[in-house]
Amino acid sequence: MAIRNIRELGEPCLRKVCKPVKEMNSRTKILIEDMFDTMYEANGVGLAAPQVGILKRIFVVDCGDEEGNSVPYVFINPEIIDRDGIQAGYEGCLSVPGKSGMVTRANNVKVKALDENMEEFELEAEGLLARCILHENDHLDGVMYVDKVEGKLYDNEELYENNEE
């Protein structure tokens, strides 16, 4: 469909609480398709509607599987119903290009949401997928990962240099 402009840190839409989606319509279907196209084009694993300037409670993720296959999910009006365990790792964000920071999140998460057909589902996720769901869900409440960074926000080039040593 179309690649949308990704809003960057400092733009007001990233700090607003999004509104629930009440019904599926053609504009929302196009938005979801565009969000996947935009995320893939930017080499991301998740994208929330406010990151493309739309204040709706929608995000998409695709962390793939162990074989490298695409595993796309659509989350509409998501609700985190359980979280457990701890994982700490570097996170980045398409709205904060070129930066990463250490963030601690739950290692396991259970989420309830609607899919692109407005059918309710529950998903239990762990590791990277859990991190991604929690990161994108935060966007829907105007929370950015930089608010949760422990310590320094790094330039990605700086991190890569440190890992090569």
37 in Cβ contact with 3 (< 8 Å): yes
Q: In the prediction, which pLDDT does 41 show?
A: 97
* Nearest-angstrom CA–CA distance, 115 and 60: 10
- Pairing, β 46-48 against β 58-61: antiparallel
For the stretch 16-38, pLDDT in tens is 999 999 999 999 999 999 999 99
- Pairing, β 153-155 against β 73-84: unpaired
Which of 113, 110, 129, 133 has the alpha carbon at shortest distance from 121? Answer: 113
For the stretch 46-105, pLDDT in tens is 999 999 999 999 999 999 998 989 999 999 999 999 999 999 999 999 999 999 999 999
Percentage of residues in the chain having pLDDT higher than 90: 92
Domains and CATH numbers, the chain: 12-164 (3.90.45.10)
Q: Is 136 annotated as catalytic?
A: yes
Q: Is 139 annotated as a binding residue?
A: yes
Residues 6 or more apart whose CB falls under 8 angstroms from that of 154 comprise: 90, 99, 100, 101
The pTM is what?
Answer: 0.94
The answer to which of 64-68, 123-127, 134-138, 148-152 has the lowest mean pLDDT is 64-68
CA distances from 153 to 21, 22, 60, 97 (A): 33, 37, 25, 12
Catalytic residue among 91, 120, 136, 150: 136
Dihedral sign for Cα atoms in the order 5, 43, 108, 160: negative
